[in-house]
Structure 1
Amino acid sequence: MTSLSLPPGERRIKLACRDLWKIYGVPPREAAQIARTGDRAALQRERYGRKPLAAVAGASFDIHEAEIFVLMGLSGSGKSTLLRCLTRLIEPSGGSVTLDGENLLAADRRRMTELRRKAMGMVFQNFGLLPHLTVLDNVAFPLRVQGIDRPTREARARDMTGLVGLRGREDQFPAQLSGGQQQRVGIARSLAAEPEIWFLDEPFSALDPLIRRQMQDEFIRLQKMLRKTIVFVTHDVQEAFRLADRIAIMRDGAVVQIGTPAEIALVPANDYIAEFLRDVPLLRVIRAADVMRPATDGKPALPQFSTEDVLEDILPVLLGGAAAVGICDAAGTLVGEIAAADISGLFGTQRAMPA
């Protein structure tokens, strides 16, 4: 059972962000004052020949243990800046960030370095591999920085290399690898230190569409095995809806809606989000768990699907004549059912059901 399957009061919060701001264009003390007061009118007053810019404007949310929390928005919306504020690679102007109850904004430089080395894994669009090191040595590099002995770090690096599907390439150099393989090395390296929380900023956006899809599949496979707490930044709507447990959509530095893919797709908070999601194929993003009802006792055996299966996979069976399908959890236990009327009723209240 993941944290998201628990009632809200029982979910363990891994990272909490409260009223976080990052303001450019004014001195830090003045930016901190605007952040403390939330004075948005001050952002409209010119100083030194220009207006202040709120790259992050009062962001607040909780991220639960083992959750994939996606920050999504157009270029310039503030999502990458927000991620860097969470890790203090960029210093926020105000607000709070806590990891397992520890106030990160109160941590000194030495403590933040320790947390980044041991508790945080990071993957960026730029693979950042060291060209003079082999795959194995690149993956082991964070452990080398930690002072871990060579046999231990190489054994761990071999495990991670195998985990991402690069077994047999340990002695190759980055220049000998494809873009997708290089990104796998970056992922393996970020996992080598066994981070408690994993930050990924547009990790697949530089890849060709086919390789990108393959990397998304790989990412989903890894998450099912590792159950990491993940903050994932993307501007790609399809990617966000495919990977996320919950999504935070950003615009002009502000978080404008947070919810599961189904919640956002079916009930957009405003016209901006509705337009943003206009081309999202709902049958591909709404999962069985989002629409199932309790299973009825005494019914004959039903065709069975997983709670994670999307409606696109289930609908052909229902259109083929099945009265309903059974929905099972990860342990194979029947937890619900879906009939054709459940799907048509769902779309009938929101959008026309796709053909």
Structure 2
Amino acid sequence: MNDTAVSVKGLTKVFGRKPKEAAKRLSSGTPRSELGPGVTAAVIDATFDVKQGEIFVVMGLSGSGKSTLIRTLNGLLEPTAGSIVIHGTDLATADAAEVRSVRQNHVSMVFQHFALFPHRTVLENAAFGLEVQGVPRAERLERARKVLDRVSLGQWADSLPSELSGGMQQRVGIARALTAETDILLMDEAFSALDPLIRREMQEELVELQAELGKTIIFITHDLNEAMFLGDRIAVMRDGAIVQIGTPEEILTDPANDYVAQFVQDVDRARVLTAGSVMEPARAVVPQSAGPRGALRVMRDTQTGGAFITSTGRKLEGAVIDRHVMRLVKDGQPDLASAIKRDIAMVSPETPLSDLFELSVDSTLPIAVVDENQRLLGVVPRVTILASLANVPSTTGLLPIIDPVTSVSPADIAETLEGSHA
């Protein structure tokens, strides 16, 4: 099954004289700056696919071409060259009726400045997309009311937009898009006119709605932190061209060129990087069946003061530290169970790095990264968190997994293994 919602190939949009001729010159290698006076290439050879249920963010500075790009995706602007395929219809070659059909049934738009009708109530604004589709009034108002409840605006249904705050008005715009029940949402700088706190709240609400409804969202922004927070993938534009497409982590850690590297240098890395992206192999891992002696040997070989204990299927049971295990060996105990510390820090691979700070401070062990079945995938030592935030390559070597002040020396472990009785 094809999971592509929008497919864009070689899309070019030129404004000015003889746009078709200018597009051909661009495709043959003529620089944008040499097209001549009165000719502006706003989008140049853009190619990308957007998957169903994905938040695809197009990011760039003013004049990069991102707003022109989204207007071609909505059929508001006719492409000069290339194709835009949505549900089997190529907007570049479709007639006016076909373009209208795509816009009415498959694509909704959320604008930067809300674009609400001031003389209509919040409910009527939310229902407008269904009105365009010809849905009877009673049905469209009922459907709109349900969506308003979902975005916490139900009590304002009979109010006018002027009675609402900026954040609430933007919720109306989102409600209108959701009420139309199209599967694709185009959002052009949708939150940029909001105050910072309200903007952050709207970003979080959009992510929650996306998780609930599974819409395909193409989001335009000039704000890098917003792009990193929202995007499953990000396309970075410069001078009309897409210079890199990748996940937030890929954009941040492996920029395609100096422009992208400079663009992302001030991003809040703690909000972008996850435990899964910075975790390292867990070297000091002991099967519970290995017993105290096996645990001590692993700690000696890896030069660490503690070890993670796993059971069948590499399920993480907890961790032990050297001095407790040495006591078991000296006492002739064959089982590790009594020494296992089970309340250790564990996170999923998707956990943001910002959520690991407090855990790393409170724990002498590195943070364990586990899957939904509690299988041990890797660990995040404290030094790795600091190195990631500072953009310093990790050494991934023999990193201590507990505080060396409290650990026992390898010589002590060796002496215990050699001199104790089993």
Distance across 2 between alignment mates of 1:146 and 1:18: 29
State the partner residue of 1:311: 353
State the partner residue of 1:218: 205
Structure 1 residues 349 and 119: CA distance shift in structure 2, 3 A: same
Distance across 1 between alignment mates of 2:53 and 2:374: 21
State the partner residue of 2:293: none
What are the within-5 Å matches in structure 2 for residues 50-65 of structure 1?
50=37, 52-65=39-52
Structure 1 residues 14 and 335: CA distance shift in structure 2, 3 A: farther
Distance across 1 between alignment mates of 2:11 and 2:35: 22
What code does the residue aligned with 2:381 have? A
1:146 aligns with 2:133: yes
Distance across 2 between alignment mates of 1:239 and 1:204: 9
- Maintained 8 Å contact 2:123/2:145: yes
1:338 aligns with 2:398: no
Percent of aligned pairs with the same amino acid:
44
Kindly state the Cα deviation for residue 17 of structure 1 after the two structures are TM-superposed: 0.9
State the partner residue of 2:160: 173
Alignment length (residue pairs): 338
Distance across 1 between alignment mates of 2:231 and 2:31: 35
- Maintained 8 Å contact 1:43/1:52: no
Kindly state the Cα deviation for residue 90 of structure 1 after the two structures are TM-superposed: 1.0
- Maintained 8 Å contact 1:283/1:311: yes
1:33 aligns with 2:74: no
What are the within-5 Å matches in structure 2 for residues 175-194 of structure 1?
175-194=162-181
Kindly state the Cα deviation for residue 73 of structure 1 after the two structures are TM-superposed: 0.6
Normalising to structure 2: TM-score of the pair?
A: 0.74
What are the within-5 Å matches in structure 2 for residues 75-114 of structure 1?
75-114=62-101
State the partner residue of 2:5: 14
Q: What SS does the corresponding residue of 1:299 show, helix, strand or coil?
A: strand
Structure 1 residues 339 and 307: CA distance shift in structure 2, 3 A: closer
What code does the residue aligned with 1:309 have? T
Distance across 2 between alignment mates of 1:43 and 1:200: 27
Distance across 1 between alignment mates of 2:106 and 2:164: 28
Q: Structure 1: any 5+ residue segments left out of the alignment?
A: 1-9
Structure 1 residues 335 and 178: CA distance shift in structure 2, 3 A: farther
- Maintained 8 Å contact 1:22/1:92: yes
Q: Deviations over 1:112-140 (max 9, x none)?
A: 11111110011010211111111111111
Q: Deviations over 1:58-97 (max 9, x none)?
A: 1111111111110001100111111111222111110111
Distance across 2 between alignment mates of 1:229 and 1:284: 22
Structure 1 residues 46 and 257: CA distance shift in structure 2, 3 A: closer
What code does the residue aligned with 2:158 have? D
What are the within-5 Å matches in structure 2 for residues 192-271 of structure 1?
192-271=179-258
Kindly state the Cα deviation for residue 282 of structure 1 after the two structures are TM-superposed: 1.3
Kindly state the Cα deviation for residue 57 of structure 1 after the two structures are TM-superposed: 0.9
Q: Deviations over 1:247-286 (max 9, x none)?
A: 1110000101111111111111111111111111212211
- Maintained 8 Å contact 2:19/2:39: no
Q: Which has the higher contact order (CA 8 A, sep 6+)?
A: 1
Distance across 2 between alignment mates of 1:69 and 1:217: 16
Structure 1 residues 100 and 294: CA distance shift in structure 2, 3 A: farther
Q: Structure 2: any 5+ residue segments left out of the alignment?
A: 283-309, 319-343, 395-422
Q: What SS does the corresponding residue of 1:41 show, helix, strand or coil?
A: coil
- Maintained 8 Å contact 2:4/2:50: yes
Structure 1 residues 144 and 334: CA distance shift in structure 2, 3 A: farther
- Maintained 8 Å contact 2:125/2:172: yes
Distance across 1 between alignment mates of 2:82 and 2:376: 41
- Maintained 8 Å contact 2:278/2:388: no
Kindly state the Cα deviation for residue 43 of structure 1 after the two structures are TM-superposed: 4.3
Which has the higher Rg, Structure 1 or Structure 2? 2
- Maintained 8 Å contact 1:143/1:193: yes
Q: Deviations over 1:34-59 (max 9, x none)?
A: 36xx0332745465xx1632110111
Structure 1 residues 291 and 13: CA distance shift in structure 2, 3 A: farther
1:280 aligns with 2:267: yes
- Maintained 8 Å contact 2:7/2:50: yes
Among residues 1, 17, 23, which one is paired with 2:14 in the alignment?
23
State the partner residue of 1:299: 316
Q: Which runs of 4+ in 1 moved over 4 A?
A: 42-47, 292-296, 332-335
Q: Deviations over 1:152-189 (max 9, x none)?
A: 11111011101111121111000110011000000000
State the partner residue of 2:143: 156
Range that drifts further, 199-208 or 22-31: 22-31
Structure 1 residues 333 and 177: CA distance shift in structure 2, 3 A: farther
- Maintained 8 Å contact 1:24/1:55: yes
Structure 1 residues 351 and 76: CA distance shift in structure 2, 3 A: farther
- Maintained 8 Å contact 2:315/2:374: no
Range that drifts further, 53-62 or 180-189: 53-62
Distance across 2 between alignment mates of 1:173 and 1:193: 20
Kindly state the Cα deviation for residue 13 of structure 1 after the two structures are TM-superposed: 1.6
